[in-house]
Structures are given as structure tokens and as C-alpha cells.
Amino acid sequence: MNLILDDLKIQKHLHGLYHSGLDTTPLNTSIHESLFLIMGLEKEQTERITEWYNRQAEQVYTIDVVNRGEVARKLAEDIFNGLVLQIKPVRKNRLAINWIKRKRRRFRMFSK
């Protein structure tokens, strides 16, 4: 979750720099792609989930991450939980499958 929070903070700063007139293209990171690899997302899922992730991450543009850090942390947590719900686990990895099932159950329990 801290990786997502760091990515959100970076995106917020790059967004501000872009609107100040700076070309931020060479500064863009691929943290979310690394996160997807760590979470075990399959290639066919990546494009759809990247679009979803970017839409969710845009919410950070309206958050004051310095004075309202808890709001940014909540957004990162919501994004993480959303990613967990979208993972199609690879059948070979029993540990990952059980971990994902526990996360899904926990997230659904708190969502009600």
C-alpha cells in the first residue's frame, strides 16, 4: 500500500508541474506497472486495470497530501483493495490464491 501511496504523491507533484508548463514526460514513473507485476497480474489484465488505476489515482489531484495525508492513505488503501478484487490468480500458486481470497473476504466485509 505504501508503494501506491508513493505513486499517488509522485503523480500529484507531476500533475502540478505539468500545469505549471513543464514537460513531465521524461519524469513519469512506472511504479504502477511494477506493482502489477508484484501482485501477479496477467498480461491481458494489465491494460484494463491500468486504465482503472489511472482513473482512481486522478482523485489525488484534489487532495492536499501534505496536510491531509490520511485522505491520500485512504485512497491508496481503496486502490489496493480494488486491485486485489480484480486479480485473477494463477492456479499454480496456492499461497497467493489463499491470500487473495482472505483479502477479498475482508474487503467485502468492511464494504457493507
Q: How many CB atoms lie within 10 A of CB 54?
A: 11
Q: What is the per-residue pLDDT for 30? A: 81
Residue count of the chain: 112
b/e string for 58-74 if b means 16 or more Cβ within 10 A?
eebeebebeeeeeebbe
Backbone angles phi, psi at 79, to 5 degrees: -65, -45
Q: What is the per-residue pLDDT for 93? A: 59
E strand intervals along 24-70: none
Model pTM?
A: 0.70
pLDDT along the chain (112 residues), means of 10: 86 87 85 81 78 89 76 88 73 64 66 50
Which structural domain, as residue segments, surrounds residue 65? 2-111
Query: How many structural domains does the chain have?
Result: 1
Q: Can you tell me the distance from the alpha carbon of 36 to that of 53, in angstroms, rounded to the nearest whole number? A: 10
